[in-house]
Amino acid sequence: MQRKILIAPSILAADFSRLGEEIKSVEEAGADMLHVDVMDGHFVPNITIGVPVVASLKGKTSLPLDVHLMIHAPERFLNAFAEAGSNYLTVHVEIRSQLEKVINGIHKLGIKAGLAIKPGTGIVRLEPFLEKVEMVLLMTVEPGFGGQTLIPEVISKVSELRGKIERKGLSTKIEVDGGVNKETAKQLISAGADILVAGTSVFGKKNRRQAIKQLRG
Ligand code: DX5
Ligand code: ZN
Distance CA 120, CA 139 (A): 9
pLDDT band at 1 (very low <50, low <70, confident <90, very high): low
Ligand nearest to the CA of 7: 1
Q: Which atom of ligand 1 is nearest to the CA of 139?
A: 7
% of residues, the chain, pLDDT over 70 = 100
Is residue 78 domain-resident? yes
| Residue 166 predicted with pLDDT over 70 | yes
pLDDT band at 208 (very low <50, low <70, confident <90, very high): very high
198 lines ligand 1 (CB under 6 A): yes
Active site residue 40: no
Q: Mind listing the pLDDT tens digit for each residue in 90-130?
A: 999 999 999 999 999 999 999 999 999 999 999 999 999 99
152 lines ligand 1 (CB under 6 A): no
pLDDT band at 3 (very low <50, low <70, confident <90, very high): confident
Of 149, 200, 190, 165, residue with least CA distance to 10: 200
| Residue 2 predicted with pLDDT over 80 | no
Is residue 132 domain-resident? yes
Q: Mind listing the pLDDT tens digit for each residue in 42-55?
A: 999 999 999 999 99
pLDDT value of residue 59:
85
| Residue 146 predicted with pLDDT over 70 | yes
What's the gap in Å between 9 CA and the centre of ligand 2?
10
Are the CB atoms for 123 and 161 separated by under 8 Å? yes
Q: What is the identity of the amino acid at 141?
A: V
Is residue 139 domain-resident? yes
179 lines ligand 1 (CB under 6 A): yes
* Mean pLDDT, residues 168-177: 98
Is residue 112 domain-resident? yes
The 3 state secondary structure assigned to 12-76 is: HHCCHHHHHHHHHHHHHCCCCCEEEEEEECCCCCCECCCHHHHHHHHCCCCCCEEEEEECCCHHH
Q: Which residue segment(s) compose the domain that 113 sits in?
A: 6-216
Is residue 1 domain-resident? no
* Mean pLDDT, residues 200-211: 98
* Residue in 177, 195, 202, 212 to alter for ligand 1 test, most ligand atoms within 8 A of Cβ: 177
* Residue in 197, 202, 214, 215 to alter for ligand 1 test, most ligand atoms within 8 A of Cβ: 197
Is residue 16 domain-resident? yes
| Residue 213 predicted with pLDDT over 80 | yes
* Mean pLDDT, residues 53-65: 95
Domain count of the chain?
Answer: 1
Positive or negative, the Cα torsion across 11, 5, 184, 118? positive
pLDDT value of residue 190:
98
Is residue 196 domain-resident? yes
Instruction: Give the domain CATH number at 183.
Output: 3.20.20.70
- Strands 34-39 and 65-70, sheet pairing: parallel
Q: What is the identity of the amino acid at 140?
A: T
